[in-house]
Copies of this chain bind each other. A is one copy, B any other.
Amino acid sequence: MPSTGTTVAQLGERGLLTRVLANIPASRDAELGAGDDAAVLHAPDGRVVITVDTMNEGPDFRRDWSSGEDLGRKAIASNLADIAAMGARPTGLVIALALPGSLPDAWVEDFARGLSCALDECAPGVGIVGGDLATAERIQISVTAFGDLERRAPVVRSGARSGDVIALAGDAGRSAAGLALLAAYANDEPLEQLRESCGPGGTALLAAQLRPVAPIAAGPAAARASASAMMDVSDGLLLDAHRMAEASNVTMRFERALLEPFAERLARELSESPGLPDDPLELVLRGGEDHALLATFPVDVVLPEAFTRIGEVLPPEPSRLLLDDEGREPIGWDPFSN
């Protein structure tokens, strides 16, 4: 349905439901979708994996930087990554959306398109099974996602064992580099102009920040390949690895040489954008929001295709984190102190 130039308040709840839900694929695993008091979703192995995450306009995104489509895509990537990080296959989602009455209806269509495209691309067959609409002064997007473990045990963060290989699927530092570009330039020039001035590399980094793509299929693949521990890297490699190291009572040792390719790619992509952080390796280690999968595997396992080896698990040492032989602090992201 083409945009009619109306607002969310003019459309009303019923119009919004038609508008938001009409173009979003149904879930192959839904027995009963949206429209009743609750949905019914298949949970084939008798358990359901559940995660919830909220994105709020203001602390989590700016509407002049992120389009509705960006946010729809990011909502899918960030939530399905948490399902994948347990080794589960995503089966469906519910979305609680609160919108200002003055929001143009085109934003909602754009958001729905982002949800649909991201689902088609990273989790075909998965769809929205229910939701809730409310009013708020600023946009709120709260997604609860579901998955099926296909009779495997969940891959928890406490399973890393000394001698395991540490491996990563997905990006590291690229989303944070995109955010640095936005912070440095986007207040002075419109986003379109910024995309031109920072070249294809910078544009790719902006995309990594605004519409990250998570390696969803790599999660179940890692579980099938006997991953001993796994996590979604949303708060940065060091901080999330520190959580895994604490939960598993081990030390995680990253090899600088194995992280260099990530840093070199970042350096290339940033080359047309002067004035940005000049140590790409630190972005790789500390940048958040990539929604990569950090996993550990027994040393004799052939890593699934999406994964790259980046280090090894050691017995617990005074430092939980090593870069080669140098101890590193977990640099953190706390929404209440940033």
A positions within 8 Å CB-CB of B: 8-9, 11-14, 16, 31-32, 36-44, 46-54, 56, 58-60, 81-83, 85-86, 88, 92, 94-96, 98, 101, 129-138, 140, 142, 144-147, 149, 154, 156-157, 230-232, 334-337
Contact = CB atoms under 8 A, between A and B. Distances in A.
A335 B134 contact: yes
A261 to B, nearest CB: 26
30 contacts: A32-B156, A37-B51, A38-B50, A38-B85, A38-B86, A38-B88, A38-B147, A39-B50, A40-B47, A40-B50, A41-B47, A44-B46, A48-B146, A50-B130, A50-B146, A52-B95, A52-B96, A52-B142, A52-B144, A54-B142, A56-B136, A56-B140, A60-B134, A96-B96, A98-B140, A133-B335, A134-B335, A135-B335, A137-B138, A140-B140
A40 B146 CA distance: 10
Given A52-B96, A140-B140, A134 B13 contact: no
A40 B46 contact: no
Nearest to A39: B50
Contacts of A50: 38-41, 92, 94, 129-130, 144, 146
Contacts of A9: 336-337
Contact of A54 (B13, B37, B60, B96): B96
Given A54-B96, A94-B144, A83 B336 contact: no
A51 B32 contact: no
Contacts of A13: 334-336
Contact of A59 (B14, B38, B46, B134): B134
A42 B37 contact: no
Nearest to A97: B54
A9 B59 CA distance: 14
A89 B232 CA distance: 32
Given A50-B146, A53-B96, A140-B142, 8 more contacts: A13-B336, A38-B86, A39-B49, A43-B47, A51-B130, A54-B134, A58-B137, A134-B335
Contacts of A94: 50-52, 144
